[in-house]
Structure 1
Amino acid sequence: MVPHLVTALTGPINELEQRILESMPAIERWFRLEWMEHTPPFYSSVDIRNAGFKLAPVDTDLFPGGFNNLTPDMLPLAVQAAMAAIEKICPEAKNLLLVPEPHLLSKKFYLMNLQRLVQIFSLAGLNVRLGMLDDRQTDASTLDLPDGSHLEVEPLLRTKRRLGLKNFDPCTILLNTDLSAGVPKVLEDLHEQYLLPPLHAGWSQRRKSRHFQAYEEVAKKFAKLLGMDPWLINPMHTQCGEVDWQQPQGLDCVRSNVDALLTKIRRKHKEYGINEKPFVVVKADDGPSGLGLMTVRDAKELDEPGFRERHMAITGGQPTGEVIIQEGVPTYERMNEAVAEPVVCMIDRYVVGGFYRIHADRGIDQSLNAPGASFVPLAFAESHHLPRPGEKPGVSAPNRFYMYGVIGRLAMLAAAYELEATDPNAEVYE
């Protein structure tokens, strides 16, 4: 099932799809060479927007949920990717400790995501157990899933040098919690254990602006390879540090950057003959996507009554905070008349599937990562997911999904750049 693209502005994207398909051998070789130099995140998911005139990532999650939304047909791919990832890190691995997000354990959809992760890594040949990141939990607890199955979550057991569970000493610890509230002491100073993703990938230290700065670098390299304009796949952005929402002058940085970015977007729209009013999205530079996003079409909106109070939601009600101002990429994909956006899921350097996030109550310029969203697997009409060079652009599901996978992998590569640049343990050479 492929959503239809409700826009006449499909020319640039159809041309992009054609160019990507024609350049497939060069693209795959380019990725292969990049992965010889850079280590991919252990797993990731990327939200993508298809505007018809532009195809770009808008968020990259390094502690992804949503694996339960993948079609069962994609499970073998996920298992193979998990095997490859584990073999690179800890070939003799026997035990894997999976640490979930504590505040989501009451959510059925999240439990199903955990169940799928346990399934993937069990089939990859690991003993998988769940450890609760909560000092108050002293006993194991059983969590009921909608399908009648159960998951057991046990209290973590920290020794001087290692982290595990009672009678369970893992080689690898896989975090599925984004560390927004900071790094718990229990995860620090571990020895001879692999902690994935690394602590500096958590939202207490990570910044969206750093990621999209790295993505801009990746997009320029890729665009040079294909002989195209990087803007077609890159959402422009800028950043403001420590905005004080309670002071009139506190918005000066936001106001000037919104105005400058809107001017750049208008220039690009004029270049490509796009008759659309541009917009930017103002959001917290840290923290999960979907929280506190605000759409701005004119810098004057920043001076409207009540605007400042609404925008404090961006920083969780705090009077100050860092923000990223990002080019708004509308989504013109629809499924059953509801707005849709593709999400690409990856383990190691491999695309293992994806799904459409759908929201009937949201507009083309709003975040779909909000309560009320539903999910549909990227279901392939054929028994395989390989692209089909030579077919007419815009009509083939495998070709569309291959193009999404390329964009997802570009964002994943940017995350690799980002994590290398922010690694506190990296050696610095003068």
Structure 2
Amino acid sequence: MVPHLTTALNGPLLSLEKSMLDAMPKIEHWFRSQWLEYSSPFYASVDLRNSGFKLAPVDTNLFPGGFNNLNPDFLPLSVQAAMIAVEKVCPEAHRLLIIPENHTRNTYYLRNVVELVNIMKQAGLDVRVGSISPEITEPTKLETHDGHTLLLEPVVRVGNRIKLINAELGDFDSCAILLNNDLSAGIPAILENLEQNLIPPLHAGWSTRRKSQHFAAYNRVASEFSALLGIDEWLLNPYFDTCGEIDFHARTGEECLALKVEELLAKIKIKYAQYGVTQEPFVIVKADAGTYGMGIMTVKSPDDVRDLNRKARNKMSVVKEGLQVSEVIIQEGVYTFESINDAVAEPVVYMMDHFVIGGFYRVHTGRGIDENLNAPGSQFVPLAFEKPCTTPDCAGAPDAAPNRFYAYGVVARLALLAAAIELQEQDPLNQ
């Protein structure tokens, strides 16, 4: 199913896709040289927005939780990429411990863990799932919404290693530990100073990571890439700014936020005028740390962030795990003009190591083209690649399905590269 793009594709985006197709050998060579310099994250997912005049990443997740939403036809891509990714981290690995999120009641999330286990097993690893949740005190079988079962075992720390102790199945001590837990609530002591390979590293978690650091790195990547192709960087890069020391409850920092919103809207208006875009510019204000679509609002005027009502302030002040918001990122809003069965849609691209392995459309019937779709009520439609994202049809039209998906894969990999730079620069060992 190729989604419907509601704009006539004869403007900047068509030109952007054509530039990418024409420069494909140059692009792939450039990526290869970048991966010699930077170590790719183990896995990641990137939320993209396609407005017909702009194609840009709006979020990059280093602990992706939707492997169950990928097209099963492309499982071999995931398995192959997983083999390469594991080889890099721990070449002699034959056991892998996966540590998931603590929310064991979300059966769709558990289905994601089942799929992740399946990929890693097919990559030739002995895989078990260990929980750091205080609720899991003994081996516990959980069932997903579609009838799959998942065994969670409590993790035990022994010296500088974590293990599973199980009389029935045998103890489990692994070379590598794969985190599928984004550490929003902070770094638990049980994971600190381990001698085992922890992937992704602890500083990739939301307890220390900031979206603004990621997009600062993306600015540099997009700038270099755009110079390579001779295109306007804005076509694939959203403007952003930050506002620290905000307290939505105490209503401090509001004026700083309103001023930054005003400045960003003015910059976007100039670009809209340059490209003849008739839509109203908007920005997204969201917590600088955190995920799950919490603490996010669409803003079209500085007045929208002055005099927020109590409900809006409450919504903006807390994110996942009940963490208080004191820093926000103000990001240029990118309209999505893609739809599936008349519902607003946005592509999410999944990568393992530096390979695109698939993706899906996040679809929401209750949200508008200028709103965050990562919200309760969203549904997922696998990206039905006729071919993988990395194999465009260079003889076909720039907006043909494989070529659209190639453009998605390129922009997603730019965000992945930004994450690699971000992780390298934020690594405590490099401080």
Normalised-by-shorter TM-score class: over 0.9
Q: Which residue pairs with 1:351 in the alignment?
A: 356
Seen in structure 2, the aligned counterparts of structure 1 residues 318 and 250 have a Cα distance that, compared at 3 Å, is farther
Deviations 1:264-288 (A, max 9, x none): 0000001111111100011110110
CA contact (8 A) 1:245 1:319 kept: no
CA contact (8 A) 2:389 2:408 kept: no
Q: Which residue pairs with 1:315 in the alignment?
A: 317
Q: Which residue pairs with 1:326 in the alignment?
A: 331
**What is the Cα deviation at residue 319 of structure 1?**
7.1
Q: Which residue pairs with 2:240 in the alignment?
A: 237
Seen in structure 2, the aligned counterparts of structure 1 residues 54 and 154 have a Cα distance that, compared at 3 Å, is same
**What is the Cα deviation at residue 382 of structure 1?**
5.5
Q: Which residue pairs with 1:142 in the alignment?
A: 141
Single out whichever of 57-66 and 376-385 deviates more from structure 2. Answer: 376-385
CA contact (8 A) 2:345 2:362 kept: yes
2:156 is aligned with 1:153? no
2:179 is aligned with 1:180? no
2:290 is aligned with 1:268? no
2:189 is aligned with 1:190? no
Q: Distance in 1 between matches of 2:311 and 2:68?
A: 37
CA contact (8 A) 2:111 2:148 kept: no
CA contact (8 A) 1:312 1:318 kept: no
Write out aligned runs for 1:46-125 (5 A).
46-103=46-103, 105-125=104-124
1:244 alignment partner AA? D
2:7 alignment partner AA? T
Q: Which residue pairs with 1:282 in the alignment?
A: 285
Aligned residue for 1:25, secondary structure, equals: helix
1:96 alignment partner AA? L
**What is the Cα deviation at residue 7 of structure 1?**
1.8
Q: Which residue pairs with 1:393 in the alignment?
A: 398
1:358 alignment partner AA? V
CA contact (8 A) 2:157 2:190 kept: yes
Single out whichever of 108-117 and 180-189 deviates more from structure 2. Answer: 108-117
**What is the Cα deviation at residue 392 of structure 1?**
1.6
2:409 is aligned with 1:405? yes
User: Matched residue pairs, number?
Assistant: 423
CA contact (8 A) 2:50 2:334 kept: yes
**Cα-Cα RMSD:** 1.6
Superposition TM-score, scaled by structure 2 size: 0.95
Seen in structure 2, the aligned counterparts of structure 1 residues 10 and 323 have a Cα distance that, compared at 3 Å, is farther
2:304 is aligned with 1:301? yes
1:231 alignment partner AA? W
Q: Which residue pairs with 2:424 in the alignment?
A: 420
**What is the Cα deviation at residue 145 of structure 1?**
2.6
2:25 is aligned with 1:21? no
Q: Distance in 2 between matches of 1:207 and 1:6?
A: 33
Q: Which residue pairs with 2:168 in the alignment?
A: none
Aligned residue for 2:359, secondary structure, equals: strand
Q: Distance in 2 between matches of 1:236 and 1:52?
A: 17
Q: Which residue pairs with 1:378 in the alignment?
A: 383
2:136 is aligned with 1:132? no
Residue of structure 2 aligned with 1:171, choices 166, 169, 175: 175
**What is the Cα deviation at residue 334 of structure 1?**
0.5
**What is the Cα deviation at residue 148 of structure 1?**
3.0
Aligned residue for 2:392, secondary structure, equals: coil
CA contact (8 A) 2:40 2:417 kept: yes
CA contact (8 A) 2:215 2:418 kept: yes
Q: Which residue pairs with 1:219 in the alignment?
A: 222
1:36 alignment partner AA? L
Write out aligned runs for 1:331-346 (5 A).
331-346=336-351
**What is the Cα deviation at residue 393 of structure 1?**
2.0
The sequence identity of aligned pairs, in percent, is: 54
In structure 2, the gaps of 5 or more residues are 166-170
1:311 alignment partner AA? R
Single out whichever of 4-13 and 65-74 deviates more from structure 2. Answer: 4-13
**What is the Cα deviation at residue 320 of structure 1?**
5.6
Q: Distance in 2 between matches of 1:402 and 1:129?
A: 35
**What is the Cα deviation at residue 222 of structure 1?**
0.4
CA contact (8 A) 2:287 2:325 kept: no
CA contact (8 A) 1:214 1:414 kept: yes
Deviations 1:31-68 (A, max 9, x none): 00000000111000000000001000000000001111
Aligned residue for 1:303, secondary structure, equals: coil
Q: Distance in 1 between matches of 2:41 and 2:61?
A: 10
